[in-house]
Amino acid sequence: MAGRGAGARPSVITDARIGTSLSTEQRTRRYLITMGIRVVAFFAAVVAPFPWNVVLFLAAAILPGFAVLLGNASDNHAPPVARPLEGEQRLELTAGDIVQGSVEDEDAPEGDPRAAGEATGANRPDDDVEGRDG
């Protein structure tokens, strides 16, 4: 496809939430990055001089909580989609042609109003549900 690189994300044309697998990948990545920073802070605290090693040990102790918070914080909604302008003319479906007339049922028994073409809203053939097999 033209204009798309190997790392490009596809266009989003809906307001639906992103997929669970994509959300899980993003949260896992955030968690692992934060825990990686924790490991670096811990090893730096071992070799750092006195005032800095306390700060780095505290950071290494607090970062797991932040890692969980950042790992679980996710926005599952897709980015906003451009909407057409209000004054823009939109295509629409029409009702089509309406054919006026009546239904004549040749198989209806004598005296049945449907045989005379008097199918009204109260006694249309579609409304007769007694003879149907469900």
Domain tally, the chain: 1
Choice between 37 and 20, residue whose per-residue pLDDT is larger: 37
On whether residue 10 sits in a domain, the answer given is: no
On whether residue 11 sits in a domain, the answer given is: no
d(CA 19, CA 43): 37
On whether residue 43 sits in a domain, the answer given is: yes
pLDDT for residue 95: 78
pLDDT tops 90 at residue 118: no
On whether residue 126 sits in a domain, the answer given is: no
On whether residue 132 sits in a domain, the answer given is: no
Q: Identify the weakest region by mean pLDDT among 15-29, 30-44, 105-119.
A: 105-119
Query: In this structure, are residues 118 and 102 in contact, taking their beta carbons and an 8 Å threshold?
Result: yes
pLDDT for residue 12: 59
CA 107 to mean position of chain CA atoms: 51
Where in the sequence is the domain holding 45, given as residue range(s)? 20-72
On whether residue 67 sits in a domain, the answer given is: yes
Q: How confident is the model at residue 20 (pLDDT cuts 50, 70, 90)?
A: confident
Mean pLDDT across 59-85: 77
On whether residue 30 sits in a domain, the answer given is: yes
On whether residue 101 sits in a domain, the answer given is: no
d(CA 35, CA 50): 23
pLDDT tops 60 at residue 106: yes
